[in-house]
Amino acid sequence: MAIRVSAPAKINLCLHVLGQRPDGLHMLDSLVVFLECGEWVELRKAAQTTLRIIGPQLENMHLTEDNLVLRAAHLFPAGCATEIILHKNMPIASGIGGGSADAAATLKAMGQLWELPLPRIAEQLALGADVPACMESKPVLMQGVGDLISTVQNIPPLYVCLVNSGEAVSTALIFNQLMSKSNPALDPIPNAHSDWLYWLTQQRNDLQSPAIMAEPVIASVLSQLQEHNPIFSRMSGSGASCFAIFETLEAAKTCAQEIKHSHPSWWTATGPFITN
């Protein structure tokens, strides 16, 4: 029996850095959504735990024992030997949750395959701050160090174009370059769709400016997205992926196609919000 679980792309629609704890971890306030595009893992019981990577990003992956998928699998008892296939489609270190989404999908698939409870949130966080949010794969408010997750309702059904120039960005470097680590929290999220987009424009990604300082091409990506008149655009996470929101899937696909035509080496993807 094989279990396949999707690992959807994650977007930080906004990301406020509220402070830094003595242990170095950052306190966050972020509205996170997921798209109906991304990656998947497929698991089946086996004599030993192995990981095989396939897909368009295979050549950019270096398989080591520190791989988040293998680390996620090893959170289960030693007797749970599993063959894992990872279809890798998203760029590495791109701010859209690739490794964290893969780890979360692996945890969910392992739980189903072996009929065991999922690891505690502290163990999930040891894999990465985004993993608990990626376990939800639906709109959530991510707070604390990623350990406080609450479901968000009334996110409008919109469509996204994702663009990544191919530059891997170090999350640790971006946080270190952040000028202020004590910033205001998110404003209360409105209930009405009509107020939501205006609210979004009033929030921030506190990591966008330091990311642009580290990789100026991010500013170019955002400029390219803006040329297609989206409802809204911003960088996701610590970068380097950027997103533009549209009212229709056709508009999102047109944006992706035209940017890909102008910049063949850039990675693009499109998809709707997963709203429930």
Q: Which residues pair with 32 in a beta bridge?
A: 12, 140
Choosing from 105, 132, 150, the residue where a domain stops is 150
Identify the pLDDT of residue 22: 94
Domain count, the chain: 2
State what percent of residues in the chain have pLDDT above 90: 86
* Other beta carbons within 10 Å of 80: 17
Contacts of 35 (CB under 8 A, 6+ apart): 8, 9, 11, 160, 162, 269, 271, 272, 273, 274
Do 25 and 131 belong together in one domain? Answer: yes
pLDDT digits (tens, 9 = 90+) for 117-168: 999 999 999 999 999 999 999 999 999 999 999 999 989 999 999 999 998 8
For the record, the structure tokens of 89 come out as 């489609």
166: left (phi over 0), alpha (psi -120 to 50) or beta: left
Active site residues: 10, 130
> How far apart (Å, rounded) are the C-alpha atoms in residues 68 and 60?
15
CATH number of the domain to which 199 belongs: 3.30.70.890
Do 193 and 254 belong together in one domain? Answer: yes
> How far apart (Å, rounded) are the C-alpha atoms in residues 262 and 39?
25
> How far apart (Å, rounded) are the C-alpha atoms in residues 221 and 224?
5
- Which letter does DSSP use for residue 59 in this model? G
Do 122 and 218 belong together in one domain? Answer: no
> Is 101 a residue whose pLDDT tops 90?
yes
Choosing from 150, 171, 206, the residue where a domain stops is 150
What's the pTM value of the predicted model, to 2 decimals?
Answer: 0.95
Choosing from 119, 150, 181, the residue where a domain stops is 150
Do 261 and 158 belong together in one domain? Answer: yes
Range of the domain at 6: 2-150
Q: Which residues pair with 31 in a beta bridge?
A: 14, 141
Contacts of 174 (CB under 8 A, 6+ apart): 207, 210, 211, 214, 238, 239
Coil, helix or strand at residue 69: helix
CATH number of the domain to which 101 belongs: 3.30.230.10
Helix (H) or strand (E) run with residue 57 in it: none
pLDDT digits (tens, 9 = 90+) for 59-74: 777 777 679 999 999 9
Taking a C-beta distance cutoff of 8 angstroms, is the pair 243, 160 a contact? yes
Could you tell me how far CA 60 lies from the centroid of its own chain?
18
Identify the pLDDT of residue 43: 98
Do 88 and 208 belong together in one domain? Answer: no
> How far apart (Å, rounded) are the C-alpha atoms in residues 134 and 96?
10
Do 174 and 89 belong together in one domain? Answer: no
Identify the pLDDT of residue 191: 86
pLDDT digits (tens, 9 = 90+) for 172-203: 889 999 989 999 999 999 988 889 999 999 99
- The DSSP annotation for 114-127 comes to HT-PPPPHHHHHHH
